[in-house]
Amino acid sequence: MISVIIPVFNSSSQICGLVDSLLDQTFSDIEVIFVDDGSTDNCYSILKQYALEHCSIKVIRKPNGGVSSARNAGLKIATGDYIGFVDADDWIEPDMYESMVRAMEDNNAQLVSCDLYQDEADVQPYITYDEGESYDVEILEVKNPYRDILLIPQIAGYLWNKLFKKDLITQMLDEELSQNEDLLFVAQYLKSVTKMVHINKKLYHYRMGDPTPRIDLTNRSLSLMQAYEKILDCYISDVPALAWLPRKNLLKVYLNFNARYKLSKMVDRAVYDRIQQGINRYLSSVIKDHNVSLGEKLNILLTWMFPKLLLTIKNKQLSERHKNGDWSK
């Protein structure tokens, strides 16, 4: 059985499309666990009606505690051998979980991921499922998952394009984090993975959020520093040869926040000092690391020396790519 966990918060306008896509799965042995995280709209009543009509749907309600708290609540009651996650405003292709289970079992793998569609926020749910269509599975070596969740956008550290084995989940999601808690969860799970497979087929529909680059620094965005510090610790412990990847990414986070701090004219000495300490801690080691390309090193140094100018240029370039349908970072 697969247990699919969906955290829900004020998603009444889009929840029905997701529920219908879950009910239409070609894999029948599935339980769907919705965790209403203190919604103030009518999400809960909508989901309770679905649960009355479909025995595969479970709905629990809890005070608002954040997405990780909601997912953990779902994990605690999940009864499936496999665990999947979906976001409440997305939807999935009918053959997603059948394809994932088959790929995992046929290849004796412990983790499987799939490609995804990147859809605009207001698009109506659609499917591209063709019963006769085949898919290819790429077998990833044991050392590759740690690398690929940081380097390959179609794999990445998302939860929702992956299927996990429940008995291999040894750590819950970190409820202290507001960002990249999913990447940390995946990195920790990889300790139990000897083989990962990736399905080269788009099975998940991800709704893109507001593409406008942010300049202000919120508590939620600042938690990214803490998240990447924990991810770096995980890599140092489990795959030290690849620790340069999260170390480089962490430095980029500090440099980005440094520029945003200055552009937003924020005044918070504690935040500023934390950012500067992070830059000072990692700048030299990243620049000296032979794994980091010359182009990336140049970009890092320019961002360090001219933070406001470089961030303004990058945000303009990012906005242009989004207008042209390119959602890569």
pLDDT in tens, 224-243: 999 999 999 999 999 999 99
Given pLDDT bands bounded at 50, 70 and 90, which one contains residue 183? very high
Determine the pLDDT at residue 20.
96
Determine the pLDDT at residue 154.
85
Determine the pLDDT at residue 142.
47
User: Any idea which of 63-72, 143-152, 320-329 has the lowest mean pLDDT?
Assistant: 320-329
**What's the average model confidence in pLDDT over 4-31?**
95
Which carries the bigger pLDDT value, residue 259 or residue 143?
259
Are the C-beta atoms of 70 and 7 separated by less than 8 Å? yes
Most confident of 116-130, 151-165, 308-322: 151-165
The CA distance from 114 to 160, in Å, is 9
Determine the pLDDT at residue 119.
87
**What's the average model confidence in pLDDT over 5-23?**
95
Query: Encoding tokens for residue 189?
Result: 């799970």
Determine the pLDDT at residue 82.
98
Closest C-alpha among 20, 122, 36 to residue 71:
36
Q: Across the chain, what does the average pLDDT equal?
A: 91
Determine the pLDDT at residue 318.
72
**What's the average model confidence in pLDDT over 302-309?**
94
User: Any idea which of 101-105, 223-227, 247-251, 264-268 has the lowest mean pLDDT?
Assistant: 264-268
Given pLDDT bands bounded at 50, 70 and 90, which one contains residue 130? confident
Which carries the bigger pLDDT value, residue 312 or residue 293?
293
Looking from the CA of 170 toward its CB, the CA atoms found within 13 Å total 8
Most confident of 6-20, 110-124, 127-141: 6-20
Determine the pLDDT at residue 211.
63
Determine the pLDDT at residue 326.
56
Which carries the bigger pLDDT value, residue 67 or residue 125?
67
**What's the average model confidence in pLDDT over 202-221?**
83
The CA distance from 68 to 201, in Å, is 28
Characterize 91-120 residue by residue with b for buried, 16 or more Cβ atoms within 10 angstroms of its Cβ, and e for exposed: bbbbbbbbbbbbbbeeeebbbbbbbbbebe
- Which residues share a beta bridge with 197? 112, 139
Tens digits of residue pLDDT in 95-116: 999 999 999 999 999 999 999 9
Residue 320, pLDDT above cutoff 80 = no
Residue 134, pLDDT above cutoff 70 = no
CB neighbours of 38 closer than 8 A, spacing ≥ 6? 9, 61, 62, 63, 64, 65
Tens digits of residue pLDDT in 26-72: 999 999 999 999 999 999 999 999 999 999 999 999 999 999 999 99
